[in-house]
Structure 1
Amino acid sequence: MSLRTLTSPDGTEFRDLNHNGTMEPYEDPRLSPEDRTEDLLTRLTLKEKVGLMFQTVIEVGPDGDLLEQPGFISKSPTTEVIVGKCMTHFNVHQIRTARQVARWNNALQALAETTPHGVPVTISTDPRHAFTENAGVAFPAGPFSQWPEALGLAALNDVEAIRSFAEVARQEYRAVGIRSALHPQIDLATEPRWGRQAQSLGHDANRVAEFTAAYIQGFQGDVLGPDSVACITKHFPGGGPQKDGEDAHFPYGREQVYPGGMFDYHLKPFITAIEHGTAGMMPYYGMPQNLVRNGETIEEVGFGFNKQIITDLLRGELGFDGVVVTDWELVNDNHVGDQVLPARAWGVEDLTPKERIERILEAGADQFGGEECVDLLLDLLAEGRVDEARIDASVRRLLLVKFRLGLFDDPYVDEDAAEALVGREDFQAQGFAAQATSITVLENKEHQGAPILPLTHFSNAPAIYSENIKTEAYSDWAHPADSPETADLAIIRLEAPFEPRADLFLEAWFHQGSLEFPPGLVHRLRRISDHCPLIVIINFDRPAIVTPLVPFVSALAVDYGSSDRAVLAALTGDVTPVGKLPVEIPRSMDAVRASREDVPSDTEDPMYPVHFGLSI
């Protein structure tokens, strides 16, 4: 589909990306990615090099066209960022259909071909195969196959299941032109209140390391190549131990703490990611507090600004030479409508945006996530505050990934093939099975002389009182009751508790604060159980303090992103739930507050320990 595919005198087909009619070494598909990178590096202008070092949000036009005005989150028209600013890395947001995004990818790549050297675009995405809607971290599946959140994949406790998910997701991403995954998120969820656990793989470092290897292998293959999706593993050196569980997206959550001295424990999955060739790494926003490692005090600045973390530890001690992409918006405040979110320049808040860019480069990062302020870096170069050799070091890494992915040879996709593959029936079936089997049963009490689950005791179309679950999910074996008093059984789905916040941009989407259910809800559920057996299923994006519920529920289970139909399949035994907790469930908030943020399974006398789960 290339606009400029030519044939060299020796019969080699190539894309004439610099429009001169001859095959330059960087256009020669027979040469190694390394040789092609070195050739192109000598040809690019400084403006083109700088453009490669920025990645921002981009949005898809309604019909797969290019959006030529600012979007909901994207700041600039598409042509402005690709042609005007020479940018070639973008994080795509809302996707409605596979055909729409495939068409858009092709239009985007055709626009990129019009630039002086035709550098193709790399499209990235946050996770988008599950249920979460949070523009800051993840998106619901939309046209893609739908699976549980990563925490649910971990609950399956099956390395091959992780690999299977990654292989399916890779195929679906690849079909529509997405070539970079801003995941896996392998932070260890050691702080029970932290608001980003749903996309993590739990808090058992050794098990998370095994999951990480399978995840990266499923997306990238044995080596990064034309069929791969490059993984940007996050958030180095582990974003889980946030002070009081507050998230570092926000000023009140900037401190990352290690009261238990477990810094190296949190590194384990990242070491595995490096060993298995992750293409990139993303440091977190957090600012280490009172951290001493190997006798050296670590500077109290955000990890993206921290040379001891990126250059000395990640690149030096651990030997990582892939791309380091900062997390989003370390340089400029983010204004969306009437809301603002301050730049996550923790520890360097007093620096100007230019000075922040300098600090990030000095720290060793290659790309500025969520930014498009190319003019600031060009100014720094013109002023002699940044050397072009430093730019070349990062651009070399960024280009090498593009060449290895085969983007210079063919970045286009087939709309019909994308529509046929994305959300394919067998992929959906695998996702549904994972949704149902990952459900973790915590309580299963006796009813009529046997455990209530599976619901085989209830025959002859029982009457079910339900909340937050569609009646169609059980209409083939039961009928709805208007009230608990007229029901044979009650099934209630709940969200894990959180404290709503909505002052800063993105804040309303993050579930933070207390893990306790409101006392009024507990009282109402107890009253329901007075009339009929009560089954409670909690959506487990964070642990919940379930202690008050246990005395009166007949069954208690957690899901990690499951449809109503998948939940009922597990409860009825149509699919056997085998989920095991990837993190522990504390007994009380007092136990949570007394625990150490960096230590796994550190709450006193947990209600349910990590890896707990009943068989039914």
Structure 2
Amino acid sequence: MSELYKDSTASTPERVEDLLSRMTIEEKVGQLFQQMIAPGPGGTVSEGDPVFGLPPTRGLIEDKQISHFNVLGAPDTTREFAQWINSLQEIAENTRLGIPVSISSDPRHAFTDNPAAALMTRTFSQWPETLGLAAIGDEDITEEFGDIARREYIAVGIRTALHPQIDLATEARWARGNGTFGEDATLTARMGCAYVRGFQGTGKFGEGFGTTSVSAMAKHFPGGGPQLDGEDPHFEYGREQVYPGGMFDLHLEPFKAIIAEGTRQMMPYYGMPIGTEWEEVGFGFNKGILTDLLRNRLGFEGIICTDWGLISDVEIMGQPFPARAWGVEHLSEKERALKIIEAGADQFGGETRTDLILELVAEGALTEDRIDASVRRLLTEKFELGLFDDKRYVDLDEAERIVGSEEFRAKGLAAQRASITVLKNSEGAAHLPLAGDQQVKLFVEGGNAEAYAAYATIVDSAEDADVVLVRAKTPFEERGPGFEAFFHAGSLEFTDEERERILALCVAKPVIMDIYLERPAIITPFAEGTEEAPGASAIVANYGASDEALADVLFGASAPKGRLPFDLPRSIAAVVEANSDTPFDTKDPVYRFGHGLSL
């Protein structure tokens, strides 16, 4: 019998059905899993990673028949990155059916470095966080970012984006707010759709979904923002999502838009809905959410992949990390797996327990027809992306030419500049823009002073300065140890010691305060001040911006265009009193959504 699935002239449905007919149950079940992997030294195939509990990669492909992988970390060079993924494809090509691997990634182009949310890849172009794209508010720039990121991903062999994150950041304390487009549903929908067009090549930069696309997995359905007390559901204490304002449907609005835009994949969140019509179990286990709502009511026909680690307890960074089986902790691992499949998911994120599914089939609890339905979706994606044909391997020289090119880095730097948001600009020595040509003696705290030397005379102490620049970050409560420490959650207020230290600087010298807004920081003392402590002379916000980008804005070489993508609350008490599911609900915010001054 001819191998029709290898014939590039045949239609995708024909190729899928031909391949499906040849697959053993073990090969089918392997498709239902997407595990994390990391490169070995020098971009070699890893023999395992004890820090994150990752098994040897070769065994996952050859023994468990897994062909979907989420990349952790990155080799030191673009060439090693591309060669590593080519090596994975070579291992896969030598399996019985030669099914290619599909490589996915969390965001890699901004400044966050949290292995559970986003990763810096230093050879890629660098852009502001998605909050910064929202601050610019320009769909064309967001789509262009998606296009450039798409080209860099494809150059090294990444074909699925585990993003965009289109949750609404309605709970200011939530650790994942930095990956969103803010708290406004309309802005989030516009930016999310532009983002998908860029990655999937379905807008002005592409040719439609196909061999030059990166498949976008939108998350976290049905909206991960309304966390009880702002705690994150990676951890048991953050498992509850609550809707005191009755705003469940508002959080669906960006998902409705992105489904209409054609996003190919969807990831439900860890959290469990409390006090709604839906079953009080995690969204990945929730048939009402995945089948009744997402599939039937909203009409989503693409791939549903759970968030990572819903079945098995593991150890990460030397610490126990229980499965995020919220609401179904009492179920066995096999029962959890069955509930996920019955809920309507196609794929288990961050798991390798193929044995559980094989046991369910052998026992008659799960039919092969049900497995086939999900495998069809997953194989279709591989064929549509060209992975069975000329897109299996990447060209190493081409990867080096494309990734981090001068043009792409310049575009990223321009976006960093544009996203900067001027919140306050008083008259006086620190009035923006500052005079260049070395006219200002500048002391820089918290940044690379050399980046400002082209414009100002850099001094070594605040006492010797005309103006002091303080680069600060949104406060957070220390969590940990280990993996938990990556999540910046809890209070948004500066400690008493840090607040008084900065205010004392403001008394002594004109201060420009730049703050990295990964969440809506409480900056009331610096924005308003008192007669005794006048606060900062100027305040600007960034969402991931280098010192080079900030210097160009502060000294007038580039115009900032940013507008706040969320309210900045007046106090932590106002945050605690607000409804976690309701946007713009904190009392009397210091600066409102959309605020931003021109220079």
TM-score under structure 2 length normalisation:
0.96
Distance 1:178 1:37, change over 3 A: same
Tell me how far apart the structure 2 counterparts of residues 121 and 66 of structure 1 sit (CA, whole Å). 14
Q: Paired residue for 2:61?
A: 82
Are 1:73 and 2:52 matched, yes or no? yes
Tell me how far apart the structure 2 counterparts of residues 70 and 469 of structure 1 sit (CA, whole Å). 34
CA contact (8 A) 1:59 1:71 kept: no
Tell me how far apart the structure 1 counterparts of residues 524 and 241 of structure 2 sit (CA, whole Å). 29
User: 1:258-293 CA deviation, whole Å, 9 max, x = no partner?
Assistant: 1111111111111111111111000000100001xx
CA contact (8 A) 2:451 2:551 kept: yes
Are 1:275 and 2:253 matched, yes or no? no
Are 1:494 and 2:472 matched, yes or no? yes
CA contact (8 A) 1:248 1:254 kept: yes
Q: Paired residue for 1:339?
A: 319
Q: Paired residue for 2:11?
A: 32
- Shift in Å at residue 611 of structure 1? 1.0
Are 1:55 and 2:34 matched, yes or no? yes
Distance 1:468 1:372, change over 3 A: same
CA contact (8 A) 1:59 1:74 kept: no
User: 1:191-237 CA deviation, whole Å, 9 max, x = no partner?
Assistant: 11111111111111111111111111111122420000000110000
* Structure 1: tracts of 5 or more residues without a match: 1-21, 292-296
DSSP-derived class of the 1:63 partner: helix
Q: Paired residue for 2:248?
A: 263
Are 1:530 and 2:507 matched, yes or no? yes
Deviates more, 1:606-615 or 1:69-78: 69-78
2:226 to 233, 241, 248: 241
- Shift in Å at residue 597 of structure 1? 0.7
Tell me how far apart the structure 1 counterparts of residues 412 and 39 of structure 2 sit (CA, whole Å). 26
Tell me how far apart the structure 2 counterparts of residues 358 and 278 of structure 1 sit (CA, whole Å). 26
Are 1:304 and 2:304 matched, yes or no? no
Amino acid at match of 1:560: Y
Aligned residues: 586
DSSP-derived class of the 1:73 partner: coil
- Shift in Å at residue 519 of structure 1? 1.3
Tell me how far apart the structure 2 counterparts of residues 187 and 174 of structure 1 sit (CA, whole Å). 26
Q: Paired residue for 1:561?
A: 544
Are 1:469 and 2:468 matched, yes or no? no
* Structure 2: tracts of 5 or more residues without a match: 203-207, 530-534
Tell me how far apart the structure 1 counterparts of residues 545 and 320 of structure 2 sit (CA, whole Å). 33
- Shift in Å at residue 139 of structure 1? 0.5
Amino acid at match of 2:231: E
CA contact (8 A) 1:131 1:141 kept: no
Q: Paired residue for 2:516?
A: 539
CA contact (8 A) 1:57 1:74 kept: no
Tell me how far apart the structure 2 counterparts of residues 365 and 191 of structure 1 sit (CA, whole Å). 27
- Shift in Å at residue 62 of structure 1? 2.1
CA contact (8 A) 1:57 1:73 kept: no
DSSP-derived class of the 2:526 partner: coil
Tell me how far apart the structure 2 counterparts of residues 68 and 519 of structure 1 sit (CA, whole Å). 48
- Shift in Å at residue 141 of structure 1? 3.2
Tell me how far apart the structure 2 counterparts of residues 338 and 59 of structure 1 sit (CA, whole Å). 17
Tell me how far apart the structure 2 counterparts of residues 30 and 245 of structure 1 sit (CA, whole Å). 52
Amino acid at match of 2:77: T
CA contact (8 A) 2:71 2:103 kept: yes
DSSP-derived class of the 1:446 partner: coil
Amino acid at match of 1:37: V
DSSP-derived class of the 2:266 partner: strand
Amino acid at match of 2:147: E
- Shift in Å at residue 333 of structure 1? 1.3
DSSP-derived class of the 1:530 partner: helix
Q: Paired residue for 2:399?
A: 418
Tell me how far apart the structure 2 counterparts of residues 257 and 423 of structure 1 sit (CA, whole Å). 42
Tell me how far apart the structure 2 counterparts of residues 288 and 101 of structure 1 sit (CA, whole Å). 40
Are 1:93 and 2:72 matched, yes or no? yes
Tell me how far apart the structure 1 counterparts of residues 116 and 105 of structure 2 sit (CA, whole Å). 11
CA contact (8 A) 2:32 2:374 kept: yes
- Shift in Å at residue 98 of structure 1? 1.2
Tell me how far apart the structure 1 counterparts of residues 177 and 103 of structure 2 sit (CA, whole Å). 25
2:570 to 587, 593, 605: 587
User: 1:221-255 CA deviation, whole Å, 9 max, x = no partner?
Assistant: 22420000000110000001111111111111000
User: 1:546-592 CA deviation, whole Å, 9 max, x = no partner?
Assistant: 11112210001111011111111111111111100111101111111
1:198 to 150, 159, 178: 178
Amino acid at match of 1:185: Q
Amino acid at match of 2:598: S
- Shift in Å at residue 459 of structure 1? 5.1
Q: Paired residue for 1:294?
A: none
DSSP-derived class of the 2:444 partner: strand
Pairing 1:156-555 to 2, within 5 Å after superposition: 156-222=136-202, 223-291=208-276, 297-410=277-390, 411-447=392-428, 452-456=431-435, 460-503=438-481, 505-550=482-527, 551=529, 552-555=535-538
Q: Percent identity?
A: 52
Amino acid at match of 1:241: P
CA contact (8 A) 1:92 1:124 kept: yes
Tell me how far apart the structure 2 counterparts of residues 105 and 338 of structure 1 sit (CA, whole Å). 28
- Shift in Å at residue 71 of structure 1? 5.2
Amino acid at match of 2:306: T
CA contact (8 A) 2:443 2:449 kept: no
Tell me how far apart the structure 2 counterparts of residues 204 and 128 of structure 1 sit (CA, whole Å). 24
Tell me how far apart the structure 2 counterparts of residues 337 and 591 of structure 1 sit (CA, whole Å). 36
Tell me how far apart the structure 2 counterparts of residues 563 and 112 of structure 1 sit (CA, whole Å). 40
- Shift in Å at residue 302 of structure 1? 0.3
Q: Paired residue for 1:11?
A: none
Tell me how far apart the structure 1 counterparts of residues 497 and 590 of structure 2 sit (CA, whole Å). 21
DSSP-derived class of the 2:469 partner: strand
DSSP-derived class of the 1:171 partner: helix
Tell me how far apart the structure 2 counterparts of residues 50 and 173 of structure 1 sit (CA, whole Å). 27
Tell me how far apart the structure 1 counterparts of residues 2 and 214 of structure 2 sit (CA, whole Å). 27
Tell me how far apart the structure 2 counterparts of residues 65 and 122 of structure 1 sit (CA, whole Å). 18
User: 1:494-542 CA deviation, whole Å, 9 max, x = no partner?
Assistant: 1100000114x52100000001001111111121122221011111100
Tell me how far apart the structure 2 counterparts of residues 186 and 510 of structure 1 sit (CA, whole Å). 18
Pairing 1:104-119 to 2, within 5 Å after superposition: 104-119=84-99
Deviates more, 1:205-214 or 1:131-140: 205-214
CA contact (8 A) 2:515 2:540 kept: yes
Tell me how far apart the structure 2 counterparts of residues 58 and 484 of structure 1 sit (CA, whole Å). 47
Q: Paired residue for 1:16?
A: none
CA contact (8 A) 2:33 2:354 kept: yes
Q: Paired residue for 1:602?
A: 585
- Shift in Å at residue 31 of structure 1? 1.3
CA contact (8 A) 2:438 2:454 kept: no
Deviates more, 1:518-527 or 1:598-607: 518-527
- Shift in Å at residue 486 of structure 1? 1.5
Tell me how far apart the structure 2 counterparts of residues 610 and 129 of structure 1 sit (CA, whole Å). 25
Tell me how far apart the structure 2 counterparts of residues 447 and 192 of structure 1 sit (CA, whole Å). 33
Distance 1:489 1:378, change over 3 A: same
DSSP-derived class of the 2:154 partner: helix
